[in-house]
Amino acid sequence: MTDCIFCKIISGEIPSTNVYRDDQVTAFRDINPAAPTHILIVPNKHIDSVNMMIADDEPLIGHLFFVTKELAAKEGISEGGYRLIANTGAGAGQTVFHIHLHLLGGGPMKHPMG
């Protein structure tokens, strides 16, 4: 996707503070953090949203969650707890239409959500 900001971050066209990268996933710090730790984890393959996944994407999405678990441990937030958010669609607050997880932690989370 030529106009996708996350695709541009993955390609290096837009700079970011990367914390992880492999052949399937890129993770970087959110530029407007909502918590002391706020990392975006995105597949390197462009997928608009959860609704646009196909069966072949299942291993990739599993890897996305595994990397998230590893990053939470690396950031020191796995023991205290963390929140994962995946917005799907504009009505849910999705503003970048490239599937991604928000990893939030490092302090108490507000509740209820929604």
- What would the DSSP string read from start to end of 54-90? -GGGHHHHHHHHHHHHHHHHHTT-TTT-EEEE---SG
Cα–Cα–Cα angle for 29, 31, 77, rounded to 5 degrees: 40
Confidence (pLDDT) at 110: 83
Say whether 100 is catalytic: yes
Secondary structure element (H or E) that encloses residue 38, with its range: strand 37-43
pLDDT class of 1 with cuts at 50, 70, 90: low
* Domain spans in the chain, listed from the N-terminal domain onward: 5-99
Q: Per-residue pLDDT for 18 more than 70?
A: yes
Q: Per-residue pLDDT for 31 more than 90?
A: yes
Q: pTM higher than 0.75 for the full model?
A: yes
Q: Of the listed 38, 98, 100, 102, which one is catalytic?
A: 100
Q: Per-residue pLDDT for 8 more than 80?
A: yes
The whole-angstrom separation of Cα 108 and Cα 114 is: 17
Q: Does domain 5-99 have CATH number 3.30.428.10?
A: yes
pLDDT in tens, 48-78: 999 999 999 999 999 999 999 999 999 999 9
